[in-house]
Amino acid sequence: MFGLIIPSKFIIIKINYTMKITEQDKIFMREAIKLADASVAKGGGPFGAVIVKDGKVIAGSSNRVTIDNDPTAHAEVNTIRMACKALKTFSLEGCDIYTSCEPCPMCLGAIYWAHIDRIFYGNNRKDAADIDFADNFIYEELDKPMDKRIVPIIPMLRNEALRTFVAWKEKSDKVEY
């Protein structure tokens, strides 16, 4: 999460956590669930998501991991890619995501990087675990010290890698994100 600046809007949203779910929110969530249902019928994973801006669905996708042979092709990541393409931007500020299941850590990270305003989810991580999608173990991994994790993570050649960061820091015409 290097360099992630937490915009003040996230703090405002936290205060509004008890915000009411509207009838329109339910319509969008049902769209996400419908995509998940269609995906199951087509042989994909049982997950769907839509991204909404100004009361309109601008992107929607299901999980395409097995269809695309892409382990990152979760519904939320696919939908973020589609929405950014549609809006020609790398920031989805002003957008909400409705996902048929609580985002896994990868998707949650992608949602934060995309600066999406709010996340609505249907099934929770326990429901996912009950059908053998164990996202929870990755959340647990994040809590462990590096040397206790399942996948070894080994720091190396930091001094060489750091040169790129110095070049980035000194570049005056960079596109910051």
Q: Among 51, 49, 82, which Cα is nearest to 63's?
A: 49
76 included as an active-site residue: yes
Shortest gap between Cβ of 12 and Zn ion (angstroms)?
Answer: 26
Residue 28 vs 47, nearer CB to Zn ion? 47
* Closer residue to Zn ion (CB): 18 or 69: 69
User: Residues 49 to 88: which contact Zn ion by CB under 5 A?
Assistant: 74
Minimum Å gap between C-beta 49 and Zn ion is 9
**What is the C-alpha to C-alpha distance for residues 45 and 40, in angstroms, rounded to an integer?**
6
Which residue among 33, 36, 104, 119 contacts Zn ion (CB under 5 A)?
104
Kindly give, in sequence order, each residue whose CB lies less than 8 Å from that of residue 67, ignoring residues fewer than 6 positions away: 42, 43, 44, 73
Residue with tokens 């019928």: 41
The C-alpha torsion from 113 through 117 and 123 to 129, rounded to 10°, is: 20
Work out whether 119 is an interface residue with Zn ion (CB under 5 A). Answer: no
Asked if 106 and 113 touch (Cβ cutoff 8 Å), the reply is no
Instruction: State in angstroms the smallest separation of the CB of 74 from Zn ion.
Output: 3
Give me the residues that bind Zn ion (CB under 5 A), please.
74, 104, 106-107
Active site residues: 76
